[in-house]
């Protein structure tokens, strides 16, 4: 089915992200169930980060001939998605409790920066890998 | 760097930061430096003898407030000390607090006289008819003295148990607020009953939980502590006892201070303005969308207030929506009413006991909060 081990690896990564997506969706649903009708979009939609920034891009890379990002680019993207997902859940907890903390802005800033850096790095390495192949 | 080392190090950093973030939000106590200037009751035209410290290490804001003991002594210097006899029921068995809580000068009244002989309270030259009594009279659901009259009742409304406190005051100076442990800060918390006892409160409800938020005006007992705007609606209470709903977008905290506001509570929304319901049926606090335990304060007439705490999240009582609460307040005759922190925070305290069923369903499982509104 896959032409290379790299593609197999990326498919496995997409599956891992899918698992994280399911975990986040379940966590959000359970948290909302016990929050006495108080809800937070950050908690409900925390699953969107691993789904849209993890599973989807990796599946695209598996099935489309876009090349393979190198390991450093992938690491940066993983770090970005993890930061954004954790930040979303943390914000959801705060929202439901009815509080706030300015330190929260670390999550979107750091997570966004890491992910964008990863994407830029990936774009560069994908091009190079494609040329090499 | 080894391939496996980056995720490990990053994971540790992210977990450590998140742990600190959560501790900082919910646990780490931060007491903010506030001016410990002396402030007196000049707002009420009192003389310098009654100057009190507004804040301090030992919870001066709270503990320096006039306790029922002090007030009794102050206002009734000739009052004879009550000498309990064996035939008299002890305060504890009568369902009222011990003498050290309410003061030894009270005369616990087992018959729980809810409507003692009315007297007239003089305030700012206007005579108001209020059921004050020369001596403190404590019933199971009532308290009256020279300046304060409180009558508790309970009703079922919309499948919800609602606790109502009708409060008459001779002056708004008896409508006070207090911080947990007398300290202004984040995560400085204590239960409503603890704060009430620390301050010798006769009656108390939870406040606006200012410590859970980083924005919203905090002006208490005439002193401004926080002036960062949340953009929401606040309740301003003035020395003449009147209520005003203000919006933090349009009214600065300094303006309220200049107008000599006595208390400013920042939670909301306003339930009633000029006797009209000011919340929509679908409106809720933040992202809450269900019936919940609620706490609200309203003014019925000059120096006549109503406090409401509704039970919720328990099988016997579903809780109220904001609209239902506003409608109920209107039904009770309130003209201006304001929603305070609710949910697990909703607590009504009276004479040493918790009146409502807190949302956990256990009376001894109160949520720790930042502040209370109390009568004392």
Residue A64 covered by a domain: yes
Number of domains in chain A: 1
Number of domains in chain B: 1
Residue A72's domain comprises 5-127
**With bands split at pLDDT 50, 70 and 90, how would you rate the model's confidence at A132?**
low
A37 vs B14, B26, B290: nearest CB: B290
> Tell me, what's the pLDDT at A127?
63
Residue A43 covered by a domain: yes
Give the Cα separation of B269 and B342 in Å (integer). 12
> Tell me, what's the pLDDT at B318?
87
- Locate B288 and state its tokens: 């809450």
Residue B23 covered by a domain: no
How many CB atoms are located within 10 Å of the residue B348 CB?
Answer: 25
ipTM of the complex, rounded to two decimals: 0.91
Check: CB of residue B266 under 8 Å from CB of residue B297: no
Residue B73's domain comprises 32-375
Residue A41 covered by a domain: yes
Bridge partners of B295, per DSSP, are: B309, B340
Which residues of B45-146 form beta strands (DSSP E)?
52-53, 107-108, 119-123, 126-130, 137-138, 142-144
> Tell me, what's the pLDDT at B361?
57
Residue A45 covered by a domain: yes
Interface test with A, best of B11, B14, B282 (most A CBs within 10 A): B14
Residue B5 covered by a domain: no
Check: CB of residue B112 under 8 Å from CB of residue B35: no
**With bands split at pLDDT 50, 70 and 90, how would you rate the model's confidence at B289?**
low
pLDDT in tens, B180-218: 998 999 999 999 999 999 999 999 999 999 998 888 999
- Locate B357 and state its tokens: 């069923």
Residue of A nearest to B187 (CA): A99
Residue found by looking up tokens 């609209």 in the block = B323
- The pLDDT mean for chain B works out to 78
Residues 6+ apart with CB under 8 A from B93: none
Residue B16 covered by a domain: no
> Tell me, what's the pLDDT at A131?
58
Provide residues of B within 8 Å CB-CB of chain A: 3, 6-7, 10-11, 14, 17-18, 20-22, 24-26, 209, 212-215, 285-292, 313, 341, 343, 359
pLDDT in tens, B15-70: 999 999 999 999 999 888 765 444 456 677 665 444 444 333 333 333 333 334 43
> Tell me, what's the pLDDT at B285?
61
For the cut 50, the answer to whether the pLDDT of residue A68 exceeds it is: yes
Residue A132 covered by a domain: no
């Amino acid at each position: 089915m896959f032409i290379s081990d790299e593609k197999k690896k990326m498919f496995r990564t997409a599956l891992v992200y899918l698992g994280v997506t399911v975990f986040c969706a379940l966590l959000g649903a359970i948290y909302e169930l016990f929050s006495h009708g108080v809800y937070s979009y950050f908690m409900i939609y925390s699953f969107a980060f691993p789904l849209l920034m993890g599973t989807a891009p990796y599946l695209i890379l598996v099935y489309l001939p876009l090349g393979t990002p190198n390991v450093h680019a992938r690491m940066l993207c993983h770090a970005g998605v993890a930061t954004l997902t954790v930040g979303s859940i943390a914000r959801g907890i705060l929202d439901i409790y009815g509080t706030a903390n300015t330190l929260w802005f670390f999550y979107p800033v750091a997570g966004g920066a890491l992910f964008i850096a990863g994407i830029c790095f990936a774009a560069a390495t994908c091009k190079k890998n494609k040329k090499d192949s | 760097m080894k391939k496996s080392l980056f995720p490990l190090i990053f994971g540790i950093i992210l977990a450590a930061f998140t742990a600190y973030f959560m501790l900082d939000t919910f646990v780490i106590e931060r007491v903010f430096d506030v001016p410990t200037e002396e402030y007196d009751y000049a707002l009420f035209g009192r003389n310098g003898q009654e100057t009190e410290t507004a804040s301090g290490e030992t919870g001066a804001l709270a503990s320096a407030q006039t306790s029922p003991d002090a007030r009794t002594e102050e206002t009734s210097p000739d009052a004879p000390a009550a000498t309990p006899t064996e035939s008299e029921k002890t305060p504890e068995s009568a369902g009222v607090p011990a003498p050290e809580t309410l003061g030894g000068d009270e005369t616990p009244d087992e018959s729980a006289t809810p409507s003692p002989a009315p007297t007239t309270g003089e305030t700012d030259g206007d005579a108001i008819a209020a059921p004050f009594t020369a001596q403190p009279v404590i019933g199971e659901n009532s308290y009256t003295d020279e300046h304060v009259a409180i009558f508790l009742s309970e009703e079922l409304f919309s499948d919800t148990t609602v606790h109502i406190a009708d409060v008459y005051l001779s002056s708004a100076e008896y409508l006070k607020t207090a911080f947990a442990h007398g300290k202004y800060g984040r995560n400085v918390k204590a239960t409503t009953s603890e704060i009430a006892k620390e301050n010798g409160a006769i009656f108390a409800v939870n406040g606006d939980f200012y410590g859970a938020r980083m924005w919203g005006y905090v002006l208490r007992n005439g002193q401004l502590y926080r002036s960062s705007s949340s953009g929401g609606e606040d309740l301003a209470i003035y020395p003449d006892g009147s209520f005003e709903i203000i919006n933090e977008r349009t009214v600065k905290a300094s303006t309220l201070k200049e107008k000599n506001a006595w208390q400013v509570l920042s939670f909301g929304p306003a339930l009633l303005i000029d006797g009209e319901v000011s919340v929509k049926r679908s409106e809720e606090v933040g992202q809450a969308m269900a019936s919940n335990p609620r706490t609200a304060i309203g003014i019925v007439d000059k120096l006549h207030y109503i406090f409401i705490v509704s039970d919720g999240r328990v099988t016997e009582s579903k809780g109220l929506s904001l609209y239902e609460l506003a409608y109920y307040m209107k039904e009770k005759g309130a003209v201006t009413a304001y929603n305070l922190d609710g949910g697990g925070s909703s607590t009504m305290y009276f004479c040493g006991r918790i009146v409502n069923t807190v949302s956990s369903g256990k009376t001894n499982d109160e949520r720790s909060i930042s502040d209370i509104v109390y009568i004392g």
